[in-house]
Structure 1
Amino acid sequence: MGNILLALVPAVMWGIQPLILQTIGGKTSNQQMGMSLGALIFSIGVLFFHQPVWSWHLILASFVCGLAWAFGQITQIESFHIIGVSAAMPISTGMQLIGVTLFGIFYFHEWTSTMDYVYGISALIVIILGVFFTAYREKGDNSGKQGAMQRGLFVLVLSTIGQVTYNVIPRMADLNGWDVLFPQGIGMAIGAMAFSFFFDKKPELFSKKSFQNIAAGAAFAIGNIGILLSNKVNGVAVGFTLSQMNVIVNTLGGLILLKESRTSKELKLTIGGLILVAAGGILIGLTK
């Protein structure tokens, strides 16, 4: 039970993270830099309590992990600006669940029994259906939603590549979760500065909005250590999947707190898709 509760820490913290970002506002570069600074500050604080066993293997793998996160996160933030949190997060979650679960199956060989495959494959089918439901937009809408959704989906595919890479590198490199944080934080900060120039013509890396968004970085950092430790004890397929139940928090938060608009049919399908993604996550959890 303790290991499952550990896996839910990132679910809560990552659930409120995009809501903090969109409430504070700012450019994509502001939000990304603020998150990276928050994560870096947290990792420096950890150094006072935990000294890593330094090696080039640890430094390089963790740094690349941080770069992958920076790419995945800044593209995800960009998708918030294009299609909104309540549309982007269920789609992003579904894509990441599929990507990380496939790594867990074929690379880490985490599914070993027939029932693992029955639950797991059923879960992936349910998740894919949930993503399609969430991405649905009514035809004939002259507000540009169809075009925005297409752009948003493309950006989210890019985000998924970065996010999946960030999640599997520590396990592939067999790294300790606490040891990873500081060199990973350096990679996150450098990646944030570099990738910002692709999304904003004049990135505002150290403006007031960037520093305000450190609050979102703090929420991410707590979830980050949670996922690193959870993946170690639960396995990537289960640990990551349970963490992605953050989709419930951020999707409902986007609709209720951020007041993101939907037609009646779109709203019903969004909620239905959200339920399917969550159900798929629970099914994958049964493979533990």
Structure 2
Amino acid sequence: MSGILLAIIAAIAWGSIVLVSNKLGGDANSQTIGTTFGALIFAAGVYIFTTPHMSALVWSVGIISGIFWTIGQKNQYGTVKFLGVAKTVPMSTGLQLIGTTIFGALLFHEWKTKTQVIVGILALACIIAGAALTSFGQKTEEKDGGKDLKKGLMILLVSTVGYVVYVVIVKWFNINGWSAILPQAIGMVLSGIVLTIRHHPFNKFAARNLLTGLIWATGNLTLLLSLPSIGVATSFSLSQTGIVISTLGGIFLLGEKTSKKQVISVIIGCLLIIAGGVMVGLTKK
């Protein structure tokens, strides 16, 4: 039960990131800087108290992983400007699940039986359908011929590449999660500075978004702690349910303009993405 509770905490933390950062204010650059420095503060504390095994490989892979995470997170923040929180997070989650699932099947050979292949394909179908439903009606709201939608989707694709590489590279080199936390955070901060420095991101909004980084790091740690007791399949699936928080929060807390039909479409899309995530988890058992 404690493992499930930890995974749910991870879902709440990650599902709240974009919502909280949007509420705290600032542009994608100051939000990125605040988040990465918050994560570094948290990672340094964890390192001091756990002193995990480190090596040159752990440091290099961890830093590279953190760089790609920053690419993913900065561009997710940037997508919100064009699509809003309620559409960005479900679509981002869906694309991440598709990317990691495909890599898992093709690169890590996680689908070894006919049942796994069937369930995996059905899962991808659910995720794709869910992501499509969350973007329902967006184009009809645009006054510029759908340019915001196109820009948002292009930025979201870059974000997805960053997130997927961030996960895959750690798994590819079989780096322990506890060991990766600090190098990842260092990579996040360094790349965050490089990507945002020309936009003068160090301001009051960056300071506010230290909280966002602490929330993200809390989710990362609780997910790691849940793995030994409930396994990767269950914990990974539960961590995806956080999209409900950001999606409904974007609609009802941030007051994003959405019609009743769109609300229904987004909620159904979220449920399909969650169902797909659970099915992906089942293929990994």
Distance of aligned partners of 1:50 and 1:131 in 2 relative to their CA distance in 1, 3 Å threshold = same
Distance of aligned partners of 1:192 and 1:285 in 2 relative to their CA distance in 1, 3 Å threshold = same
CA distance in 1: counterparts of 2:266 and 2:150, whole angstroms? 16
* 1:95 has 2:79 as partner: no
* 1:210 has 2:176 as partner: no
1:221-253 alpha-carbon deviations (Å, 9 max, x no partner)? 011224456678844x76544322211111011
Q: CA RMSD in A?
A: 2.1
Q: Is the 8 A contact 2:236 2:281 kept in 1?
A: no
Match of 2:49, SS state, is coil
Distance of aligned partners of 1:141 and 1:12 in 2 relative to their CA distance in 1, 3 Å threshold = closer
CA distance in 1: counterparts of 2:107 and 2:5, whole angstroms? 25
User: Unmatched 5+ residue regions in structure 1?
Assistant: none
Give the AA of the match of 2:158.
L
Where does residue 282 of structure 1 map in the other structure? 278
Where does residue 52 of structure 1 map in the other structure? 52
Match of 1:49, SS state, is helix
Greater share of helix: 2
Number of residue-to-residue matches in the alignment: 283
Distance of aligned partners of 1:188 and 1:231 in 2 relative to their CA distance in 1, 3 Å threshold = farther
Distance of aligned partners of 1:71 and 1:138 in 2 relative to their CA distance in 1, 3 Å threshold = closer
Distance of aligned partners of 1:90 and 1:253 in 2 relative to their CA distance in 1, 3 Å threshold = same
Match of 2:174, SS state, is coil
* 1:12 has 2:8 as partner: no
Q: Is the 8 A contact 1:28 1:78 kept in 2?
A: yes
CA distance in 2: counterparts of 1:71 and 1:139, whole angstroms? 26
Where does residue 149 of structure 2 map in the other structure? 149
Q: What is the 5 A alignment of 1:130-209?
A: 130-137=130-137, 140-141=140-141, 143-144=143-144, 146-197=146-197, 202-204=199-201, 206-209=202-205
Distance of aligned partners of 1:172 and 1:230 in 2 relative to their CA distance in 1, 3 Å threshold = farther
Q: Is the 8 A contact 1:238 1:284 kept in 2?
A: no
Aligned residues: percent identity?
37
Q: Is the 8 A contact 1:36 1:188 kept in 2?
A: yes
Give the AA of the match of 1:30.
S
Give the AA of the match of 1:20.
V
Per the TM alignment, residue 21 of structure 1 is displaced from its structure 2 partner at its CA by 0.2
Where does residue 216 of structure 2 map in the other structure? 220
1:37-87 alpha-carbon deviations (Å, 9 max, x no partner)? 110000110122111322110110000001000101000000112211101
User: Unmatched 5+ residue regions in structure 2?
Assistant: none
CA distance in 1: counterparts of 2:269 and 2:235, whole angstroms? 22
Where does residue 108 of structure 2 map in the other structure? 108
Match of 1:129, SS state, is helix
TM-score (norm 1): 0.90
| Match of residue 238, structure 2, among 239, 242, 246 | 242
